[in-house]
Amino acid sequence: MQIRIATWNINSVRLRAELVVRFLKEYAPDVLCLQETKCPEGQFPSSAFAQAGYFHIAERGQSGYHGVAIVSRHPFADKGSRDFCGKGDARHVSVRLEGVNPITIHSLYVPAGGDEPDAAKNEKFAHKLAFLEELNEWMSSSNVKKSSPVVMTGDLNVAPLENDVWSHKQLLRVVSHTPVETALLNKVQNSGRWVDVVRQHIPECEKLYTWWSYRAKDWSASDRGRRLDHIWLDEASARACTSAHVARAVRGWDRPSDHAPVIVDLLL
């Protein structure tokens, strides 16, 4: 079985439904995980995606903020979600695809953390660190990986490696690349023995980004990006990953999200 999985922080799914449909048609993922949908449940633009052949949707939304979803060509055997930090935020949804070798896919949206990288002064940053700590406990548990393959996708809002940001030195005190955040994300990855499959295919020595600020007049020319969006696989599934890349061109479409999709292909 060959399957293509993508993840994309869409920054309002209703505002950019046409872009999602275009992406589905041009890149043809079997499953697309979305974050920051900013869409209350019941108002998701399901019909537009169904017309493109994606009839199966799992969503967890709230008005104006956060929100995650999974859009699929394949039916679901099961759906689930987890409430991190007891806040009731719509930051996680998961599905298990039907099939002989059922695959479990998670869509996660880690808090951005605000502007001040000091948990004592910034409640949003404290929330982010607490979220990552809880994520570590959960993702390292045997229950998460009780059946393989398992795919963790999402906007994790951390650029962990030096070449995941445009300037390692200048961003060490900027939220998303501070040592405390990168250490925590590495802890999550290592304790759960997750494989960062994009960096498995694209060497760490190469600059690689998935997010570029709207503030730049020419985001591509300045290229001051960060790799905030990730796809992790369990070790067995990582060996079955045949390709992985960032669809950078999508960031240049009209009225885009500030994130570009990440895409992996698996032969299971």
CATH number of the domain encompassing residue 14: 3.60.10.10
- Dist. CA 258–CA 139, nearest whole Å: 27
- Dist. CA 249–CA 67, nearest whole Å: 24
pTM of the predicted model over 0.85: yes
Following DSSP, what letter does each residue of 118-158 receive, concatenated?
A: -TTT-HHHHHHHHHHHHHHHHHTSTTTTSSS-EEEEEE---
What is the residue range of 98's domain?
2-267
**Amino acid making up residue 13:** V
Q: What is the pLDDT of residue 99?
A: 78
- Dist. CA 210–CA 215, nearest whole Å: 15
Residue 204's SS3 state is: coil
Q: What is the pLDDT of residue 101?
A: 73
The single-letter DSSP state of residue 99 is S
- Dist. CA 207–CA 189, nearest whole Å: 20
Residue 212's SS3 state is: strand
- Exposure of 172 by Cβ count < 10 A (0-12 exposed, 13-18 middle, 19+ buried)? middle
- Dist. CA 196–CA 78, nearest whole Å: 25
Q: Which of 44, 49, 42 is nearest to 25 (CA)?
A: 49
Q: What is the pLDDT of residue 38?
A: 97
**HEC letters along 40-76:** CCCCCCHHHHHHCCCCEEEEECCCCCCCEEEEECCCE
Q: What is the pLDDT of residue 268?
A: 83
Q: What is the pLDDT of residue 11?
A: 98
Tally the C-alpha atoms within 13 A of residue 103's C-alpha that lie toward its C-beta. Answer: 23
- Dist. CA 225–CA 77, nearest whole Å: 37
- The residue whose two tokens read 């059922």 is 102
- Dist. CA 257–CA 268, nearest whole Å: 31
Helical packing angle, 123-139 and 179-191, nearest 10°: 20
Q: What is the pLDDT of residue 219?
A: 97
- Dist. CA 164–CA 174, nearest whole Å: 13
| pLDDT, tens digit only, all 268 positions of the chain | 899 999 999 999 999 999 999 999 999 999 999 999 999 988 999 999 999 999 999 999 998 899 999 999 999 999 999 999 999 999 999 999 987 578 999 999 999 999 999 999 999 999 999 999 999 999 887 678 767 799 999 999 999 999 999 999 999 999 999 999 999 999 999 988 999 999 999 999 999 999 999 999 899 999 999 999 999 999 999 999 999 999 999 999 999 999 999 999 999 8
Q: What is the pLDDT of residue 146?
A: 67
Residue 179, both tokens: 């040592």
Q: How many separate domains does the chain show?
A: 1
